[in-house]
């Protein structure tokens, strides 16, 4: 029996890229628009050449909490399996850590934030 895609992952950057999804998850994911309130986007230089080659970008967005409800990050909610969540953890470099957040839609999802 196939594993259920019961994890929600909020993506605001390269995990929305088709090449990254195919390499990381082995399939393309459908996303639904959503918003992460109380966060803002910064940018970080990525030194892992494999990630840079895959994403095509040497600088990736990274979000950080501000606590200000006026701040928001627009992105997509991706429905993935627990194994795919593990694969996303492997894709994300040490500049990021995964946390659980509440989105503007009221859904709880994982997101990668600044360390």
Give domain limits for the chain: 7-114
User: pLDDT value at position 65?
Assistant: 97
CA distance 115 to 102: 19
Structure tokens at 101: 């957040």
User: pLDDT value at position 4?
Assistant: 79
Structure tokens at 114: 């600044």
> Residue 91 belongs to what H/E stretch?
helix 82-91
For 7-114, the fitting CATH number among 3.90.550.10, 2.40.110.10, 3.10.490.10, 3.30.2350.10 is 3.10.490.10
Question: CA 82, 59, 42, 11 torsion: positive or negative?
Answer: negative
Could you tell me if 104 and 73 are in contact, meaning their C-beta atoms sit under 8 angstroms apart?
no
CA distance 86 to 75: 20
User: pLDDT value at position 88?
Assistant: 96
User: pLDDT value at position 1?
Assistant: 47
pLDDT < 70 regions, the chain: 1-2
């Amino acid at each position: 029996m196939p594993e259920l895609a019961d994890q929600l992952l909020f993506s605001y950057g390269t995990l929305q890229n088709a090449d990254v999804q195919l390499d990381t998850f082995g399939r393309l994911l459908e996303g639904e628009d959503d918003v992460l309130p109380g966060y803002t986007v910064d940018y970080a230089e990525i030194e892992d050449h494999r990630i840079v080659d895959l994403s095509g970008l040497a600088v990736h967005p990274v979000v950080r909490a501000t606590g200000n409800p006026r701040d928001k990050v627009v992105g997509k909610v991706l429905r993935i399996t627990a194994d795919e969540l593990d694969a996303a953890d492997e894709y994300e470099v040490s500049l990021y850590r995964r946390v659980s957040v509440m989105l503007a839609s009221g859904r709880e999802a994982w997101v990668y934030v600044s360390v």
